[in-house]
Structure 1
């Protein structure tokens, strides 16, 4: 896959902050041309500077992913100005931290339009460009919460569950049509992003990610790998993601009770809730000086490495190694029996 000048063209939604920002920077560092889709002017300007500093071409586009026509127009502009889209990465979202009964109907609807329908709109725009060429990849940035709901995040969990089902449906249709366009998911753990300073919250204390917390660059590496290897259905990032998903398969009822007991405190710091600039109705980084970049407020406790990510990317090698170890162990056992 190559553009008119040999670069690959990548589209990243939610590129002004967090995982989207880190992913855009990572794509740029290897020379890709990156279209940056987001609402916040200051964050977009910062992301554009990051991409250019990393050596990539940048095309910032101010767009609300909940607006399907605007997303389609953005895709057309990318193709006109950068070239044919090779990879589309859906990241953008908004949400509400609160018990479900404290979330107003219009807030739930708006967050769902961004966090779920934004992915639907992005995928539609990407496939409209990719299917006629019979090539390309869509990467859906998901979460362990696509499989396991937790308290205080009914909006976010509902959207991630919906994305999971939507993506599986689209994947089956592409396989039926024998298309070479691929759709894959990257299921993330808790990540240190600015969302915990941006998302509308009705909690008594300041919201935080559920530990263990990982830096957004970990997620970005997973997104890049998935973009290069979209044949896999999905990638799990972080040991906590693996533990959560496996635990939910084995004992979901026990997990319900555990989260009911621990899920409130684990998502709040000990500090009283600060006055946030919620990004639900308008971008939190719309004014000068409000660009927070990729990282949130938890650098001191966030992990910069994930051995499990390497394992996820090299599962074939690990399986072969385990098979070889098992064979060797069986040979030793037989030799001892014969002796």
Structure 2
């Protein structure tokens, strides 16, 4: 055997050893990262692996994980604190209740397919026992939060009126309009001048007394042609994508009919965005109904305000309770850089 083959074998052996060593180091580093302590609540440890799995299950990007990691850790800490408070009160959830909830989710979310259920858990790195524990944790947290729930019946009329006066902007309504249209768009590459000529003739017929709806059913290429050009809904300015249509429409008073005007048609692009197509059409609009902007009356929004205030009171009570529980517990949070 020559010297060169021996040298080649030696180099290959060293190369494979380096690869194996580097892979071993990577696996070790990855294991350390997964088991890194993200938080400690009394004797309970929350690892970064748990937090990462929760965010991965929601298809978070690396940047989203970095931005929202603290939110998920805080949520986990709150749930653990709730469990400690639950246990301190001597309360317990029967295993039979957990099993009922387990079977209910198996049927509702997986149509009773246990193999599919196990495959999904395996893809999340979760055992069936861990899944049961997560159910127990969720039930306890919801129960402890519910004890601080406030109903809208607890909100006084004075507080509702005060909220309404301070937050009138939240109940402001935009001006809205219900439109009807006649649209002339090219069928065989007609120039804009031809379309405009057709539209002006129709506008003359309308001025002579023909009903807009009847003309709209016979003329043009509007997608609402069979409905007499009626859009069918009240629309605000911000809901109309076309700048030309938006500007013309909100210049009209109720019952007015516009003069013919050109519009550059919009189209959906391959990336899902909406932009100008380069194609032109000629529009005639009628303002069938106009609702002016204003502020919704108190009686119309009273129920909505009562619910908002009740939710705010409930959230404050929950935060205060969790703060008090946290003060009596050992909590340490250590997020990765």
Q: Is this a same-fold pair by TM over 0.5? A: no
TM-score (ref. length: structure 1): 0.21
- Kindly name which structure, 1 or 2, has the bigger radius of gyration based on alpha carbons: 2
Question: Higher relative CO (CA 8 A, sep ≥ 6), structure 1 or 2?
Answer: 2
TM-score (ref. length: structure 2): 0.21
